[in-house]
Amino acid sequence: MGKPTGFLEYERKSAPAIPPMERIGNWQEFHTPLPEKERQIQASRCMECGVPFCQAGVDLMGRTTGCPLHNLIPEWNDLVYRGNWREAYRRLKKTNGFPEFTGRVCPALCEVACTCNLNGSPVGGKETELAIIEMAYREGWAAAEPPAARTGKRIAIVGSGPAGLSAADLLNRRGHSVTVYERFDRPGGLLMYGIPNMKLEKRFVERKLKVMEEEGIRFVTGADIGRTVEAGKLLDENDRVLLACGASKPRDLNAPGRDAAGIFFAVEFLRGNTKALLDSGGKRVGEINAKGKNVVIVGGGDTGNDCLGTCIRHGAKSVVQIEMMPKPPEARTENNPWPEWPNVLKTDYGQEEAIAVFGADPRIYETTVKEFLKDSRGNLCGIRIVRLKWEMEDGRRVMKEVPGSEQELPCELLLIAAGFLGAEEYIMDAFQVARDRRGNVQTETGEFQTSVPGVFCAGDMHTGQSLVVKALRQGREAARAIDLDLMGYTNLIVQ
């Protein structure tokens, strides 16, 4: 259980971050890992409590708390504390095939649910997870392990994001022949083109993809199923098909002047920037360039924050982030107790950098865009915003404009990061799968088989927009369902 008194003896220490004004000069990750001995001390703080909420992964009041992958966190914390890193890696890999990703981009649901978080600071599970996998690569433990035998079954996976990769990993380990199709020029999906480099350096994505290829998984890029490649081809050539295309249909803004030049969706902005950096070896940014511009980002989630950090690295003149929701409280309220997800104010890396560069928090709460303003050539030159207030109407909360609260902001570049509306229709039409009322692929509750025999679905395309760690979990569960359907039994263990 680690050191019985570790949580009493040692304060939490996290990997130090490079100061904002220094890190915005490049596109590299900006946390410096703790030394090995210090990481062992941090792992010793885990007391293997009687009810380890950290690995529960349950929904409380509509939000997940604890690890959705059910990582064996107390076990590998104890092993790290004792210096048995190799066995810690084995325990970690039992539940998570991609800790090099979750150790960087997961919001640490395990730490939110940690018992030490009730009256103190949580155990640093996320950083320990990352330390384990990075040591595994250094020591050669994470090298490719191709399956000893093949089943003769062929499976096509459409989409190479977290869910698709997770499913491919388990199905290939089972001995099935797996081909992953990706519509863009590089595999990785969200991990490659949806998360900026300073949050997840692409060399780590490429490293894992190389291992997967060495294990026998085939990646086909530039294959836009339903457009450049017919769905029927995949159905004819494979025993089963898994759809894992994500929820990539962005939510738009409907306001006068929407046709102004200079308005883009966040996904195309981030994708274009990452592709330009990769293609040029880090020497060139994307064509949608924020340099010298007044930028407005609509949306306060992770994607909006990623846009913020990217714009600052471009050299934006100013950046404002607009959120419709009220400003969260600084600390938990009485109706939001542990171990629920804390609905509190979070200042992420992008906001930290904006504060350092511009001297103030860039967020404006309870506000929306009322009109896009254009110059004589049709280019965006500003926006008109209006404050909102929440009122009860017919038993539900609704937003209403605050009279007289309109104001104009200069803006030459506006990025829409207002969430997603489900999967893109053309891929669902290509396979003729049924959809639910939210625009996701429909299955029976808790199942992954679609309305079309032999076609399965997992990840955000199945559940709607969610977290990388949840998509990984979905991929594992879908792999088990496919294996059972194919073979009549399954020995795949997903938790």
| Tokens 């190799």 belong to residue | 86
Mean pLDDT of the chain: 96
Spell out the CATH class of 154-248+421-487. alpha beta
Comparing 10 with 393, which gets the higher pLDDT? 10
Which residues lie across from 294 on neighbouring strands?
A: 318
Rounded percentage of the chain residues whose pLDDT exceeds 90: 91
Strands (E), 47-183: 58-60, 63-65, 154-158, 177-181
pLDDT of residue 41: 96
CATH superfamily of 263-416: FAD/NAD(P)-binding domain (3.50.50.60)
> What are the extents of the domains in the chain?
6-139, 154-248+421-487, 263-416
pLDDT of residue 1: 64
Residue type, 178: V
Q: What is the pLDDT of residues 155-184, one digit of tens each?
A: 999 999 999 999 999 999 999 999 999 999
**Mean pLDDT, range 443-464, rounded to an integer:** 96
In the predicted structure, residue 2 carries a pLDDT above the cut 80: no
Helix (H, G, I), strand (E, B) or coil at 208: helix
**H or E, element range at 398:** strand 396-401
Phi, psi of 381 (to 5 degrees): -125, -10
Alpha carbon distance 114, 305 (integer Å): 26
Per-residue confidence band for 51, with pLDDT thresholds at 50, 70 and 90: confident
The burial of 88, by beta-carbon neighbours within 10 Å (0-12 exposed, 13-18 middle, 19 or more buried), is given as buried
Alpha carbon distance 197, 29 (integer Å): 7
Alpha carbon distance 391, 196 (integer Å): 37
Distance of CA 304 to the CA centre of its chain: 13
Helix (H, G, I), strand (E, B) or coil at 129: helix
- Note the CATH number of domain 6-139: 1.10.1060.10
DSSP, residue by residue, 415-477: EE---B-SS-HHHHHHHT--B-TTSSBP-STT--B-SSTTEEE-THHHH-S--HHHHHHHHHH
pLDDT of residue 215: 98
Omega before 33 cis (within 30°)?
Answer: no
**Mean pLDDT, range 57-79, rounded to an integer:** 93
Antiparallel, parallel or unpaired: β 318-322 and 363-364: parallel
Same topology, domains 154-248+421-487 and 263-416? Answer is yes
Task: Output Rg (C-alpha) for the chain, integer angstroms.
Answer: 23
